[in-house]
Amino acid sequence: MTSDTIKLIFLGDITGRQGRTAVKSFIASLEEKPDFVIANIENASHGFGLTKKNYEDLSSSGIDCFTSGNHIWDKKDIYEYIDEAENLIRPINYPNGTKGVGSQIFEVNGQKLAVINVLGRVFMPPIDSPWQVVTDEIDRLKNIGVEHIIIDFHAEATAEKICFSKYVAHKYNTEENSLIKGFFGTHTHVQTADEQIYEGMAYITDAGFCGSVDGVIGMEFETSLRRLSTSLPERYEISESPIAQVNGVEVLIDRTMSTQIKRINVTIDNSKQGGGVNESE
């Protein structure tokens, strides 16, 4: 791997203890270490939010940048440490004055790589429009010499993710040079099979999630069943089955564009010492 090439891994929503354990086993099992690892962690602490303890634990596992979403605020201690958490970003289109930052710049193989986190608005809680906020931030990053931009678009609607990805690709990428190197959807916890290189940009509508396979998008089946079948309020409980999946994408980036994207879909048995990693895709 030359210094001009960046091998990047992006992992979908880490969900609960089983997701955290599986991700740590997965990263430790990699024979060739990536240059940069991004993971969405809005559900990392018992399925809702992120505690400082879990943030620090995952920070020591080989993850370089943490993105999030609307659930990042669910654990109240986030307000006490988010401003000091250098590798953690929250969606950029929260109103001005919101704690934390919506983008961060990293140096990878001597190159400036920025990560932007953004929330969609279709079937989501009210939030500022991403269209102007994100383009203003991309313009700012471009003007200060950032060479690569990765976007985690945390949204419900597939059409919104596809439309926004094409919008930024058309606006900022050319045949000679692509500024937006990656656009990865998160939030639904269901991995899509549409990974592709689009105008020099690695794309997938949803990267999937990292958590218990036997649950319902990470939650216990029985509580999900009662909530969905009765339409009555029911507290979701995190699934603790030790068979977990790790979803995401592996991307190769050169100086001018992304050249390859491959889905990650592996199953890990957390009950085994060190985790048993089995390739599923």
- Three state DSSP letters for 25-76: HHHHHCCCCCCEEEEECCECCCCCCCCHHHHHHHHCCCCCEEECCHHHHCCC
Pairwise CA distance, residues 130 & 160, whole Å: 11
Annotated active-site residue 71? The verdict is yes
Pairwise CA distance, residues 36 & 148, whole Å: 12
**In the numeric block, which tokens belong to residue 89?**
């970003």
Report yes or no: 143 and 107 within 8 Å, Cβ to Cβ: no
- H runs (alpha helix) in 97-220: 130-143, 158-172
**Residues contacting residue 229 through CB under 8 Å, at least 6 positions apart:** none
Given CA atoms 70, 39, 206, 114 in this order, what sign does their dihedral have?
positive
Q: List the one residue out of 102, 105, 30 whose CA is nearest residue 61.
A: 30
- Please state, in angstroms and as integers, the Cα–Cα distance from residue 36 to each residue in 69, 73, 77, 125, 218, following that order: 20, 26, 27, 31, 26
Report yes or no: 169 and 182 within 8 Å, Cβ to Cβ: no
Selecting among 46, 71, 154, 187, the annotated active-site residue is 71
Please identify every residue annotated as catalytic: 71
